[in-house]
Amino acid sequence: MTAISSNLGYPRIGEKREWKRALEKFWKGEITEAQLISETDQIRLQSLKKQQDIGVDLIPVGDFSFYDHVLDTSVMFGIVPDRFNYQGGKVDLETYFAIARGTKDAVASEITKWFNTNYHYIVPELDNSKPTLTENRPLTFYQEAKEKLGIDGKPVLLGPITYLHLAKGYRKENLLELIDTFVPLYVQILEELQAAGASWIQIDEPIFGTQLDQSILLKAEQVYQQFAEAAPNLKIILQTYFEQVIHYQAISNFPVHAIGLDFVHGNTLELIEQYGFPSNKVLAAGIINGRNVWKADLEERLSFLESIRPYVSTDQIILQPSSSLLHVPVTKKLEEKLNNDIKAGLSFADEKLTEIVTLINGWNNGKIKITNAIKENRVERQQFIRASSRSNEQVKQALATLTASDAVRDSSFAERIKQQQTKLNLPLLPTTTIGSLPQTAVVRQTRTKWRKGDITNQEYDQFIKENIRKWIAIQEELGLDVLVHGEFERTDMVEYFGEKLNGFDVTEFGWVQSYGSRCVKPPLIYGDVSFNKPMTVKESVYAQSLTKKPVKGMLTGPVTILNWSFVHEDVARFTVQNQIAFALRKEVQVLEENGIQIIQVDEPALREGLPLDERKWKGYLEAAVYAFGLATSGVSNSTQIHTHMCYSEFQDIYDTIDALDADVISIETSRSHGEMVGSFEDHTYDKEIGLGVYDIHSPRIPAKEEILENINRALQNISPKQFWINPDCGLKTRSEEETIQALKVMVDAAAEVRNEKLTYQNN
């Protein structure tokens, strides 16, 4: 017998985002549900066929989704919040999308980050739920692959321990009992798969990369024992990823056929060297990075595998990516405009699977069988590594002279805020937006024309100015207190800076899913990062010239740029982070020199980048605070520094948020407003803060009563003198009509609360 290759999951979006376009046409009513299903069926089957042609042995099925795989798991078990009027049975697409996106009468379910990635999942709401199996999704996709392509696929299923840890709407002390209610449903899925002839199933449990109570581990072992007894002929792979398994000794002895371990992130090899690997199990070894896009060193990876060989027999291993390939683009073959040296160093989903298949050949048949592939790999990697544009000695020398004081403001917040209040003269409960304004089809089309050379630079600049002028007027008419220029010149909050800074490059088709149909195109950080020339000053200064109200300068922070980029792996991440921060520091200073009084440096990805292993948090958070301070501390006391964060689970990183020393922070909390505000009951925050008062991810206009409730809930624990009123995120994805109507409701609500507070103070 020989070892085999496997994949954990494949990108859903299609090579050119065909999936995204189909979804959005359906939401707009341009195609029917039948047409949506037909188009996405084709995308899914093409993806399966591609993996088959590459030569992957265990091809995942059921990893496809119309929106999110956690939401898929919820509706499969009939977990639908009461407000969507679900009457039981299979959940239809209308209800499915309503949960994800909201309706006129029902707010969408909360979305939050999938572990430490930029992928967002829909948080299951278990309040009053009675789980039942409404459909066996893994079985449906298994049968489809077998019947249409002759693929004996590997169904993928989100495991019960992880699913329930990600859910809300139950008391922690009831978790063990709740797990028991789901076990029979999982058992039914497994029994039906076994009856249909499935050989393998992948049950994803990334929660095992975190610290868990002993009671949970004991319950999990019991659960998997029940699975093994119910479907003894089904080979279960207990799949972990994103981190080494903290409770390795316990989990490696669970009664499953295979254990999937991440050998890219964490020190998994050390665990195996210390404790061994069970002789009665298969090791599913994730040895190719599923979250980055740089070509693996095949010779090094084969050598690494030799370190594992003493602990497993020849046929006791499966080679696979470290995680689902959901987090990388589909294929680099479309990248015709990239610098050849950089392209030589890339490996997207298809190329990573080819690397896996090559390595399994080398494992089974010896290095000599893949000699040519190793030579080609070496040549391409050296072409990338030796590219002259990768190294910048000036940047390295500049960073070597920095000290801790270079990342600290000159004065305390208490001293700064007095000067800022005098200079800005803002009202109680000031209103603002997070930054971006609607990027209409016309905006996107005009940018495309400019990139293609169909219109001149002058014509494009004039178009951007017209949009800025239009929206400054709209914001003034609405009565907002602090305005934004709208970011109409930007494709994406990270990619834009990737196009401006040295050491970055951008792809043409390197898209990955972020949430729903929202895809992002992370830039490539291939070398030392440095400032080239001002990146945001022209638009900010023009916007400020149109109004007497302050206009915020808008930048993306160093931690987020790092976390939302594909970073080369031969320089320490924190070093790259500081290079980015040092470049942004110069931009912040130029904005101040040009009269911009408020500068917002967004860090929506700070929390998501936390390692799953809490023992690594301290180093990560200290580095994040230093980088943010390095970027923002070079301004005068009277210049107000803002930042924005997404789904930050404030209570986990309270000390870090405080240590950032931003004058004003806004946090994306509208879908979980009560939980976030509750954290202030245990902490006293002395700086200024805005908790998003309505959800921009839903295509609905919030009712004034909803916003008032959110504002008043916050003011129970936060002083009105500290509180800002804003949407929970940027408005780029919303229509102009939705944006104007929603902001009007927000400003009216703010005025009502402001008048109440002022009246009370005067009395």
Is 717 annotated as ligand-binding? Answer: no
Is 33 annotated as ligand-binding? Answer: no
* Helices 736-762 & 704-714 angle (0-180, nearest 10): 50
Closest by alpha carbon to 281, among 230, 321, 322, 317? 317
Residues counted in the chain? 763
Structure tokens given for 130: 């009675």
Given 69, 265, 642, 697, the catalytic residue: 697
CA distance 718 to 746: 18
Q: What are the beta bridge partners of residue 261? A: 285
Question: 624, 606 in Cβ contact below 8 A?
Answer: yes
| 3-class state of residue 303 by DSSP | helix
- For 422-470, where are the E strands, in sequence order? none
Is 471 annotated as ligand-binding? Answer: no
Is 243 annotated as ligand-binding? Answer: no
CA distance 313 to 285: 13
Is 381 annotated as ligand-binding? Answer: no
Centre a 10 Å sphere on the Cβ of residue 733 and count the other Cβ atoms it contains. 18
CA distance 308 to 283: 10
Is 288 annotated as ligand-binding? Answer: no
Question: 8, 290 in Cβ contact below 8 A?
Answer: yes
Is 405 annotated as ligand-binding? Answer: no
CA distance 331 to 346: 10
Dihedral sign of CA atoms 562, 509, 339, 380 in order: positive
Closest by alpha carbon to 234, among 208, 182, 260, 196? 196
Closest by alpha carbon to 599, among 739, 438, 409? 409
The CA–CA distances, whole Å, from 692 to 302, 697, 699, 711 equal 49, 12, 16, 9
- Torsion angles phi and psi, residue 535, rounded to 5: -110, -25
327 is catalytic: no
Closest by alpha carbon to 325, among 17, 525, 47? 47
Is 713 annotated as ligand-binding? Answer: no
Alpha carbons within 13 angstroms on the beta-carbon side of residue 743 total 27
CA distance 731 to 434: 8
Is 118 annotated as ligand-binding? Answer: yes
Helices (H) then strands (E): counts for the chain: 27, 21
CA distance 556 to 751: 30
Is 94 annotated as ligand-binding? Answer: no
Is 27 annotated as ligand-binding? Answer: no
Kindly tell me the burial class for residue 310, based on how many C-beta atoms sit within 10 Å of its own C-beta (0-12, 13-18, 19 or more): exposed
Contacts of 366 (CB under 8 A, 6+ apart): none
Kindly tell me the burial class for residue 80, based on how many C-beta atoms sit within 10 Å of its own C-beta (0-12, 13-18, 19 or more): buried
713 CA to centre of own chain: 28
Question: 696, 731 in Cβ contact below 8 A?
Answer: yes
Q: Which amino acid is at 414?
A: A
CA distance 37 to 45: 12
Is 215 annotated as ligand-binding? Answer: no
Is 286 annotated as ligand-binding? Answer: no
CA distance 72 to 96: 8
| 3-class state of residue 555 by DSSP | strand
Q: What is the largest CA-CA distance in the chain?
A: 87
Is 147 annotated as ligand-binding? Answer: no
Is 308 annotated as ligand-binding? Answer: no
Is 450 annotated as ligand-binding? Answer: no
DSSP letter string over 556-593? E-HHHHHHTSEE-SSS-HHHHHHHHHHHHHHHHHHHHH
Is 434 annotated as ligand-binding? Answer: yes
Question: 605, 560 in Cβ contact below 8 A?
Answer: yes
| 3-class state of residue 10 by DSSP | coil
Q: Which amino acid is at 762?
A: N
DSSP letter string over 214-263? HHHHHHHHHHHHHHHHH-TTSEEEEE--SS--TTHHHHTTSSSSEEEEES
CA distance 113 to 698: 17
Give the residue ranges of the annotated binding site for Zn(2+). Answer: 644, 646, 668, 729
Give the residue ranges of the annotated binding site for 5-methyltetrahydropteroyltri-L-glutamate. Answer: 17-20, 113, 118, 518-519, 564, 608
Give the residue ranges of the annotated binding site for L-methionine. Answer: 434-436, 487, 602
- What residues are annotated to the active site? 697
Give the residue ranges of the annotated binding site. Answer: 17-20, 113, 118, 434-436, 487, 518-519, 564, 602, 608, 644, 646, 668, 729
Give the residue ranges of the annotated binding site for L-homocysteine. Answer: 434-436, 487, 602
